[in-house]
Amino acid sequence: MINKKSPVPIYYQLEEWLRGEIDKGELLEGDLIPSERALSEKYEISRMTIRQAVSNLVNEGLLTREKGKGTFVAKKKVEQPLIRLTGFSEDMKQRGMEPGTKRLDFIQLDLPPSISKELRVETYSKGYQMKRLRLADGLPMAYEVLTLPKTLFPDLTPEKFDHSFYEYVESLGLKIGGAEQSIEPAISKEESALLNIERGSPVLLMKRVSYLGDGTPFEFVKSIYRGDRYKFITEMKR
C-alpha cells in the first residue's frame, strides 16, 4: 500500500488508501479506523505523517473525530441541489429522513439597518427573529437564524416554526416566488456545541433572502450547516 520510493508523498498515499477502503465498502459509515500507533507500526511511517493524512480526510468530511473515542468513517453528506427553492423539511423528506426542529429563541425586535435593507422595510420597523436547530433523523444538521417583517406576519407565534415554515406561508394564501442565496466556507464558533462538532470545524455559511411571487422579500435567513454532513450541488450547462 505504501511505496516509500514513490515520488508521491506518503501522507497522500495513505489518504488514497483510506479513501479506497471507504469506496470499496471495506470501511463502512461509523467504523473506527486504525489508530495512529497501529498504522505507524504496520507501515513504519511517522505518526505526524499519519496525522496529516487523517486530518485532510476529516476536513474533507470523509472521516470524523470523536474526542476520547477515536476517528470514524463519517456518514455520507446530504446533497442539496441549487436548482429550486425548497425548505429544509421538504429536503429531508425527499431523502427519506425525518426532519426536526428545536426552537432555541423567539423574539420580537426592531429590525437593524443591515436586515431591514435586505427585507426592504423601514429601519427599526418591527419584526420577528427565530433561532432554531434543524435536525435530520434526530441529528443536528444546521443552526438557523430566521428574521421576518411583522407587516407580513402580524400574528406569528413560535409554534408556526415547528414544522415547515414555507407550508405555513403558503397556507396564508401567499405565493413563494424564489430567493437569492450566497454560500461560503467558514469556521465554527459558538454554534459548534449546538451542532455537536469541535469548535473550529469547517462549516458552510448560507445567507438567503426569499421573495413572494410579487417580489416582496418575506424572510432573511442565516444558516450554518455542518461541513461534514452537508454539501450543495448545482448543474451548469454551456
CATH of the domain at 69: 1.10.10.10
Same domain, 113 and 227: yes
Same domain, 46 and 117: no
| φ, ψ at 13 (rounded to 5°) | -60, -40
Distance CA 8, CA 2 (A): 10
Does 138 map to a domain? yes
Sign (positive or negative) of CA dihedral 48, 52, 53, 54 = positive
CB-based contacts of 234, cutoff 8 Å, min separation 6: 81, 82, 83
Higher-scoring residue by pLDDT: 225, 5: 225
Half-sphere exposure at residue 54, Cβ-oriented, CA atoms within 13 angstroms? 20
Structural domain span for residue 123: 78-233
Higher-scoring residue by pLDDT: 185, 1: 185
Alpha carbon separation from 119 to 43, 108, 218, 219 (Å, rounded) = 58, 15, 7, 7
Does 130 map to a domain? yes
DSSP-derived secondary structure letter, 155: T
Identify which of 176, 196, 201, 191 has the alpha carbon closest to the alpha carbon of residue 223: 191
Same domain, 69 and 83: no
**If DSSP codes are grouped into helix, strand and coil, which group holds residue 16?**
helix
The total number of residues shown for the chain amounts to: 238
Same domain, 69 and 87: no
DSSP-derived secondary structure letter, 145: E
Same domain, 67 and 161: no
Number of Cβ within 10 Å of residue 168's Cβ equals 17
Same domain, 32 and 111: no
Task: Name the pLDDT band for 124 (thresholds 50, 70, 90).
Answer: very high
What is the total count of domains within the chain? 2
In tens, the pLDDT along 145-169 reads 999 999 999 989 998 887 788 889 9
Does 5 map to a domain? no
**If DSSP codes are grouped into helix, strand and coil, which group holds residue 114?**
helix
Q: What is the average pLDDT across 10-34?
A: 84
The pTM (predicted TM-score) of the whole model is 0.65
CATH number of the domain within which 82 lies: 3.40.1410.10
Same domain, 29 and 146: no
pLDDT at 89 over 70: no
Angle at 191 (CA atoms; ends 227, 203), nearest 5 degrees: 15
Yes or no: say if 199 and 192 are a contact pair by the CB < 8 Å rule: yes
Same domain, 14 and 84: no
pLDDT at 83 over 60: no
Domain boundary among 73, 93, 108: 73
Q: Exposure pattern of 85-105 as b/e (b: 16+ CB <10 Å)?
A: ebbbbebbeeeebebbbeeee
